[in-house]
Amino acid sequence: MESVDDDPDVVERCPNSRYVRYNELLGRGAWKTVYKGFDEVEGIEVAWSQVMLDDTMQKPEYLERIYTEVRLLKTLKHENIIKSYVSWVDDKKKRVNMITELFISGDLRQYREKHRSVDLKAIKNWARQILQGLVYLHGHKPPIIHRDLKCNNIFVNGNHGQVKIGDLGFATLMLRPTAKSLIGTPEFMAPELYEEEYNELVDIYSFGMCILELITCEYPYSECRNPAHIYKKVMSGIKPAALSKVKDVQAKELIEKCLVPASQRLPAKELLKDPFLAPESVKDNPVEVDLSTYPMDIDDNYNMVLSGSSCVKSKTTSTCLPSLELQRVNERNDIRLKGEMNEDNTVTLTLRIADFSGGVRNIDFPFSLDDDTSNTIAQEMVEELDLLHEDVIIIAELIDDMIMKFVPTWKPSLRKKSIPVGGVSLTEGSLILQNSHIACRPTKVPEHEDPSFKGSDKSSLFTYLGDSMKSSEVFCYKKIASNDSVLCEDNGEKDAFDDLKKELDNIEAQYLCWYNELQKFREAAIEDAKRKWNLKNKGASLLSLVYTN
């Protein structure tokens, strides 16, 4: 939508006038042009991408790439994946518009060419972030394969070294054990891509080539004359000449791990554990930290006791209360939790999260031993600090470990009071925290006691597709009986049960929505397969006709 605007630099506005586009060109690709834009509500600069739907671009294969990026960007939320704000189709001008976050430092290739002298520590930091983005994409069910990962498609914020994977136009949901179709950039394409039988590990091969380019400042296979020459070397197993220029032994070993045949290639999650990428000090388990090793300024009215307790002194009284600090380090963050026991049966907790790019976030919060659970408090902390929802598990475990040290009788599980349903109780412990997911144990409800259970749909099974849960997590629950079949001991329990039923209904509605979205991907894949089959048959018919004549 064009706009008559007082600002001569503004050439276009979005339909609701929130975003404006300038004529400043940021980049141009084979099928997309990117301009600088501005969000007048948030006051931030954005990237405004446009795809012209001319006769060429309206071919099914091009439209598929465009709509794939639009659909995917709407559903993806991860700190190392480009964030999408809004997108729409301008039918009048025949173009698709996408508003995404802007990285003023450009892509990683431009950034590396501009800064020729970069310490290996910075490259390790970039590599970890790229892998974390791939872990998220590949962790979906089905996995999302980028298929065109290269430094040009990875964007960097030079202010604090954050990198994000973008340009998901070639990405695909791997709806079968292996995907088909030849697509990508020859220098970064795994051998199996040429054979059109591949899985998400093609992105690992490309990641290895990205690291090679970042270390050597040289495009892989730059010694080759043309794509055909590259293809011949790749299929023969000949590595890029630039690999011989990598002097760091661990860096070279990491790259070589990425370039091995697909059957030997490690997934992104495993590569994060590679020695080259390991932080200087990694601890797999929470450890108790001796506070005496952390010097600090001490107020005249306070003393620090080296035994792990804190003495708060006043002029009239002296009360000694225990104080502890626990730590856990994963591939993204160094998480520290400090706790201090209070006299009112609460614990004052201080959460400190430091990421490996240098950012630090702190938050204090009280924990009531009578009313709170580790999971609810952890969820509040994640929302407050805008962390990934998978961090809930880590923080909840730290809280449980902390409370158990203060109160040995504390039970670190999400246990609820038994609620009778259709003559059968949801027993204590039916809702528990297991490893890395929340699971609800199925509880049998006799059909003859609950008329709402009819037909074969007696349970609902949903797979978490969002970024807040890992791909292997499954939430399973039995449908709750109608209110008139619920036997409650008192009104309090009935209210509690009604709240539970309402929450489960909301969950079901949410996952049905995601299921419908997945159905759209399925239908698109089916149509694509039919189209290819028709084209193949038409080609065969033409050949038959030629030979007959």
Query: Which one is catalytic: 167, 274, 450, 467?
Result: 167
Contact 452, 485 (CB under 8 A): yes
β-pairing, 318-329 vs 33-39, is: unpaired
Contact 476, 439 (CB under 8 A): yes
The H or E element that residue 354 is part of is strand 346-355
Please, what is the Cα angle at 427 between 423 and 431, to 5 degrees?
Answer: 130
- 127-150: b (≥16 Cβ within 10 Å) or e: bbbbbbbbbbbbbbbbbbbbbbbb
Question: Is residue 62 helix, strand or coil?
Answer: helix
Question: Is residue 123 helix, strand or coil?
Answer: helix
Burial of residue 393 (number of CB atoms within 10 Å: 0-12, 13-18, 19+):
buried
Task: Supply 338's token pair.
Answer: 């400090």
Per-residue three-class SS string for 503-541: HHHHHHHHHHHHHHHHHHHHHHHHHHHHHHHHHHHHHHH
Sign of CA dihedral 378, 383, 273, 125: negative
Task: Supply 457's token pair.
Answer: 């749909």
- Among candidate residues 468, 467, 448, the one with its CA nearest the CA of residue 458: 448
Task: Supply 266's token pair.
Answer: 């490690």
CA distance 179 to 521: 14
Does residue 484 carry a catalytic annotation?
A: no
- Among candidate residues 185, 182, 233, 237, the one with its CA nearest the CA of residue 213: 185
How would DSSP label each residue in 233-271?
HHHTTPPPGGGGG---HHHHHHHHHHHS-GGGPPPHHHH
* 479 DSSP 8-state letter: P
Please, which contacts does 515-518 make with residues 24 or more away whose CB atoms are closer than 8 Å?
Answer: 515/462, 517/71, 517/75, 517/465, 518/465
Task: Supply 349's token pair.
Answer: 């907790």
Question: Is residue 384 helix, strand or coil?
Answer: helix
Strands (E) located in 9-102: 10-13, 19-28, 33-39, 44-52, 84-90, 95-101
CA distance 26 to 110: 12
* Residue 16 CB neighbours (<10 A): 10
Contact 497, 503 (CB under 8 A): no
List residues with catalytic annotation. Answer: 167
